Amino acid sequence: MLPLYLTEQGFNPGAAAMIVASYPLGAAFSLVVSGWLYDRLPPRQRVAYFGGLLLVAAGSLSVLRRPAGGASSPWLLAASLFTTMAGVAPALYLPNSALILNHCGRYSGTVMCVPARPC
């Protein structure tokens, strides 16, 4: 949906696709770094770390709230999309996975793969 939105805001489709490509890159980069840090931080520092990441994501969302057409450069939009996902992804994925791994032991793969309700 983001490429379509940026195209409607005045960016050409190629530029919109390149800007939006920074979104999953931010998630991948942040998950690698945060996964490494997660194992090394004590629980209280994890809370502060994830809270700080969410504050950074909220700040970058405020940049995205501005009108995109002509008012923002493509680099600013790409950086804010990268930063948004870099702040949200670790707080969304890492604690859930760690909780399942800690409490389910050798059955954690089964618990992660079983849907909540049958299809």
State the residue for tokens 């954690």.
108
Give the pLDDT band of residue 116 (cuts 50, 70, 90).
low
Task: Supply the Cα-derived Rg of the chain in whole angstroms.
Answer: 18
Query: Domain segments of the chain: what residues?
Result: 2-113
Say whether pLDDT at 96 is over 50: yes
In this predicted structure, what is the pLDDT of residue 70? 47
| Residue with the larger pLDDT of the pair 41 and 101 | 41
- Token couple for 55: 């504050």
| Residue with the larger pLDDT of the pair 81 and 69 | 81
Instruction: Report the b/e string of 66-92 with b at 16+ CB within 10 A.
Output: eebeeebeeebbbbbbbbbbbbbbbbe
In this predicted structure, what is the pLDDT of residue 118? 55
